[in-house]
């Protein structure tokens, strides 16, 4: 089993010496650290205990380097709270302990170093001091081991406690995509860029296509190492070095995230629940500038407190929105630390609830709080969480990739959650989109209402144009959702869609006596005219002559003929009844059968149809469009 153990404690309390006594590795990498005798940046070492392989992250204890400490504290499974026996609990002991508590480190133990410098009585006093510090915390009943890195006393006992404790640490849940917050990058001659970090979730394999975020730089995994040895795969909970192709080392820095390609997206706004430290000197207030530590990055930002008071008092928990000055990558459930802008001290910590939040307005606070409470209550229920997230997208719905970026879940986990919602009809799969049931039903009702309004205004129309309907309701929505709503309504047998027309299924064209008379008069005009039809306007005027009907009504009746196909449009002016056109086409083809070249000119066509040039030219152009004929210089080839 692989676990990550982090050190924590005040400067010069022997953290690095302790790691060296356990592993034989000096975690101080820089000449300045060796010269000054203090740890400046995070260091790393490994210990194989047989049943457990431990990756140590040694962090600096100086208050000036808490930023670096926080980069190392992300992703640890287990903390060694180091307290020097000759000094006891000191300011950075408290701050580091609070950071580990706020990050919800689940397990750890207390190590009293420099035991060779004190007697038993003083050692007991330091133990009492440590007990008071960790009272009512995750370390309250943790083992306390006294050691001396100088003499080696207690080191073997500590290894045994580490072995026993490691056996009780549950394996990490592997439900989120591969994500490695980068804490170090360097270049190896002949290999190129290498990044290191704790693989906090997922797996990485050789040849995987990944990306570096927030820059979205596509990279390929050329090689992997864990515990200093080349491996084909790395899994969550391992300190991992990744050799990357497709990027220069100069383009990478601490705080970036190596993630599965196309799964996560950077954001500058997220909603969270936070706890303000009980010994914070002042409340956390809206607009307050803070330092946000997520993973291995520090980002400046401002707080929007999501309550009526716009502040959170010391020792209290509440909801906030954090608006950052740079994009970062985070996932729901991820822990973070807040430090004041100046002076730089830890003031709060919390967990991400929604990494895709929009800016909230004060008047929406009540609804936002309800939404965030629902997210917390749904923890552990992936299907319910997915539905709650999806509801925030409303009528526009979300693609699978949107939801994966918002949840961070592996594809199979998200697919299962969505399938469960679709099965119980809580979510509708609208082609490439998913829409929560309530907004989808709202769209259906809006669509029906719009069609009803159209029928009321245009009772003689067959129905509303599909494109007109889309523009009225779905102009800013994906076309896939429009299609899905119409399909759903057709399945319910509430609408009928005929080519480019949509109507209510129950819509029937009931004509009044006057309208029936108009229809008959128009039919007679065109039947009598045969191929020498009047212009449309003349036909409409003739139809309403000596009646109480209007030209508008006559035009709507005429549209019925067009919709039914009884009348064929040749030009904007001339319309012919279909039987006459069909008969003319038959005569044309009979003519072609008797003609060796199948050609006909305008004069012959006029004679064939028994019409003047006024009608012959528009009819021939119509036949060209319909591919009954094809123009051949001054003649037509009959096809």
**pLDDT surpassing 80 at residue 637:** yes
- Domain check: are 252 and 294 in the same one? no
Averaged over 462-484, what is the pLDDT? Answer: 93
The verdict on 492 and 400 lying in the same domain is yes
Q: 436 and 389, same structural domain?
A: yes
Which long-range contacts does 133-141 make (Cβ < 8 Å, 24+ apart)? 133/89, 133/93, 133/94, 133/97, 134/81, 134/97, 134/110, 137/97, 137/101, 138/100, 138/101, 138/104, 138/105, 138/106, 138/107, 138/108, 139/79, 139/81, 139/97, 139/108, 139/109, 139/110
Among candidate residues 2, 12, 28, 354, the one labeled active-site is 12
* Boundary residue ending a domain (148, 168, 188): 168
Q: Is residue 100 domain-shared with residue 134, that is, in the same domain?
A: yes
> What pLDDT shows up at residue 34?
40
Q: Is residue 571 part of a domain?
A: yes
Instruction: Answer with the one of 260, 294, 314 that is the final residue of a domain.
Output: 260
Q: What angle do CA 172, 175, 180 make, to 5 degrees?
A: 70
Range of the domain at 245: 179-260
- Per the annotation, the verdict on 34 as an active-site residue is no
Tell me the DSSP string of 62-84: SGGGHHHHHHHHTT-SEEEEEEE
Query: Does residue 267 have a cis peptide bond before it, meaning omega lies within 30 degrees of 0?
Result: no
DSSP H/E element including 444: helix 437-457
Mean of per-residue pLDDT scores for the chain: 89
Q: Are residues 556 and 504 in the same domain?
A: no
Domain presence at residue 611? yes
Q: d(Cα 43, Cα 37) in Å, to the nearest integer?
A: 14
Instruction: Please compute the mean of the pLDDT values over residues 491-500 and round it to a whole number.
Output: 88
Question: Domain total for the chain?
Answer: 5
482 falls within a domain:
yes
CA 247 to chain CA centroid, nearest Å: 25
Find where tokens 């950077």 sit: 266
Q: What is the pLDDT of residue 239?
A: 87
Which CATH number belongs to the domain containing residue 83 in this structure? 3.40.50.300
* Nearest residue to 110 via CA among 154, 144, 159, 133: 144
C-alpha 632/C-alpha 599 separation (Å) is 8
pLDDT for res 99: 87
Inside any domain, residue 225: yes
Per-residue CA distances from 333 to 70, 330, 347, 450, 637 (Å): 17, 9, 20, 43, 74
Please report, rounded to a whole number, the percentage of residues in the chain having pLDDT higher than 70.
94
CATH of the domain at 349: 2.40.30.10
CATH, residue 597: 1.10.10.10
**pLDDT at residue 63 in the model:** 52
Specify if 560 maps to a domain: yes
Q: What percent of the chain has pLDDT over 90?
A: 62
Q: Within this chain, do residues 593 and 625 fall inside the same structural domain, yes or no?
A: yes
Show the tokens assigned to 376.
């917390």
Element (H, E) at 572: none
More confident call, 610 vs 171: 610
151 noted as active-site residue? no
12 given a catalytic annotation: yes
Confidence tier at 40 by pLDDT (50, 70, 90): very low
Confidence of residue 308 (pLDDT cuts 50, 70, 90): very high
pLDDT tens digits, 406-423: 999 999 999 999 999 999
Res. 337: pLDDT tops 80: yes
Q: What is the pLDDT of residue 378?
A: 95
The single residue of 10, 13, 15, 293 carrying the catalytic annotation is 15
In the predicted model, what is the mean pLDDT of residues 473-484? 95
At residue 327, does pLDDT exceed 90? yes
Q: Which of 64-68, 317-321, 431-435, 618-622 has the lowest mean pLDDT?
A: 64-68
Q: Environment class of residue 325 by beta-carbon count within 10 Å: exposed (0-12), middle (13-18) or buried (19+)?
A: exposed
Q: Are residues 285 and 412 in the same domain?
A: no
> Mean per-residue pLDDT for 570-595?
92
Please give the average per-residue pLDDT across 165-179, as a whole number: 85
Q: Are residues 580 and 591 in the same domain?
A: yes
The answer to whether position 499 is within a domain reads: yes
Rounded to an integer, what distance in angstroms lies between the CA atom of residue 234 and that of residue 240? 7
In a domain, 361, yes or no: no
Check 10, 13, 16, 23 and give the catalytic one: 16
Gyration radius of the chain's alpha carbons: 38
Same-domain pairing of 107 and 209: no
Whether the per-residue pLDDT at 30 is higher than 80: the answer is no
Average pLDDT over residues 106-112: 92
> Are 13 and 156 part of one and the same domain?
yes
Q: Is pLDDT at 334 greater than 70 in this prediction?
A: yes
If asked whether residues 306 and 443 sit together in one domain, one would say: no
Residue 173 lies in a domain: no
Residue carrying structure tokens 């020498």? 532
pLDDT at 638 over 70: yes
Task: Give the pair of three-digit tokens for residue 452.
Answer: 């009803």
Last residue of a domain, one of 454, 479, 510: 510
Residue 202 in tokens:
């997922």
Report whether 458 contacts 425 (CB < 8 A): no
Residues 153, 16: one domain? yes
pLDDT classification of 33: cutoffs 50, 70, 90: very low
Q: Which residues pair with 577 in a beta bridge?
A: 567
> Does residue 26 carry a pLDDT above 80?
no
Is 62 a catalytic site residue?
yes
The mean pLDDT value for 247-260 works out to 93
Range with the lowest mean pLDDT among 2-16, 265-279, 314-328, 482-496?
2-16
564 token code pair: 């039914």
Give the tens place of pLDDT for each residue, 509-550: 667 777 778 888 888 999 999 999 999 989 888 888 888 888
**Rounded Cα gap, residues 199 and 178, in angstroms:** 7
pTM given for the model: 0.79
Angle (CA) 9-11-15 rounded to 5° is 55
């Amino acid at each position: 089993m692989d676990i990550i153990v982090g050190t924590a404690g005040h400067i010069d309390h022997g953290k690095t010496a302790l790691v060296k006594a356990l592993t034989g590795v000096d975690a101080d990498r820089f000449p300045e650290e060796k010269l000054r005798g203090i740890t400046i940046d995070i260091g790393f070492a490994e210990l194989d205990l047989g049943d457990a392989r431990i990756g140590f992250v040694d962090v600096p204890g100086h208050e000036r380097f808490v930023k670096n400490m926080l980069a190392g504290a992300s992703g640890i499974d287990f903390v060694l709270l180091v307290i020097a026996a000759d000094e006891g609990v000191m300011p950075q002991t408290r701050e580091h302990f609070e950071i580990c508590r706020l990050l919800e480190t689940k397990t750890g133990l207390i190590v009293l170093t420099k035991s060779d410098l004190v007697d038993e009585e003083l050692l007991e006093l330091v133990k009492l001091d440590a007990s008071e510090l960790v009272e009512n915390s995750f370390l309250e009943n943790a083992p306390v081991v006294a050691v001396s890195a100088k003499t080696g006393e207690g080191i073997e006992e500590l290894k045994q406690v580490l072995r026993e404790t490691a056996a009780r640490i549950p394996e990490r849940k592997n439900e989120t995509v591969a994500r490695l917050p980068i804490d170090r990058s360097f270049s190896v001659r002949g290999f190129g860029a290498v990044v290191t970090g704790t693989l906090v979730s997922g797996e990485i394999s050789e040849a995987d296509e990944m990306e570096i975020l927030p820059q979205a730089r596509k990279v390929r995994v050329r090689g992997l190492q864990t515990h200093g040895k080349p491996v084909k795969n790395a899994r969550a909970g391992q300190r991992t070095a990744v050799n990357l192709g497709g990027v220069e080392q100069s383009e990478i820095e601490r705080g970036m995230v190596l993630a599965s390609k196309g799964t996560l997206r950077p954001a500058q706004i997220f909603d969270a629940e936070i706890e303000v430290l009980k010994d914070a000197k002042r409340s956390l207030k809206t607009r307050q500038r803070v330092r946000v530590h997520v993973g291995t990055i520090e980002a400046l930002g401002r707080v929007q407190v999501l309550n009526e008071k716009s502040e959170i008092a010391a020792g209290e928990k509440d909801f906030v929105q954090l608006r950052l000055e740079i994009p970062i990558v985070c996932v729901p459930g991820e822990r973070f630390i807040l430090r004041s802008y100046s002076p730089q001290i830890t003031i709060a910590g919390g967990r991400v609830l929604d990494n895709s939040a929009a800016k909230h307005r004060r008047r929406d606070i009540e609804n936002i709080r309800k939404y965030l409470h629902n997210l917390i209550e749904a923890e552990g229920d992936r299907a319910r969480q997915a539905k709650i997230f999806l509801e925030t997208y409303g009528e526009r719905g979300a693609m699978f990739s949107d939801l994966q970026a918002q949840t961070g879940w592996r594809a199979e986990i998200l697919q299962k959650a969505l399938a469960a919602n679709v099965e119980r009809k809580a979510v509708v799969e609208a082609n490439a989109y998913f829409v929560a049931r309530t907004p989808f039903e709202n769209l259906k009702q809006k669509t029906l209402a719009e069609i009803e309004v159209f029928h009321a205004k245009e009772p003689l129309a067959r129905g509303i144009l599909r494109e007109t309907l889309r523009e009225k309701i779905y102009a800013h929505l994906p076309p896939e959702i429009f299609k899905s709503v119409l399909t759903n309504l057709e399945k319910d047998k509430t609408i009928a869609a005929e080519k480019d027309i949509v109507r209510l299924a129950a819509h029937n064209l009931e004509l009044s006596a006057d309208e029936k008379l108009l229809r008959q008069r128009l039919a007679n005009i065109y039947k009598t005219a045969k191929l020498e039809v009047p212009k449309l306007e003349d036909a409409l005027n003739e139809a309403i002559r000596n009646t109480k009907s209007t030209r508008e009504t006559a035009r709507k009746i005429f549209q019925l003929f067009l919709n039914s196909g009884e009348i064929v449009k040749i030009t904007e002016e001339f319309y012919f009844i279909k039987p006459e056109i069909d008969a003319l086409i038959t005569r044309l083809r009979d003519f072609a059968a008797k003609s060796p070249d199948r050609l006909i000119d305008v004069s012959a066509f006029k004679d064939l149809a028994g019409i003047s040039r006024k009608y012959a030219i528009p009819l021939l152009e119509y036949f060209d469009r319909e591919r009954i004929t094809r123009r051949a210089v001054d003649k037509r080839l009959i096809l």
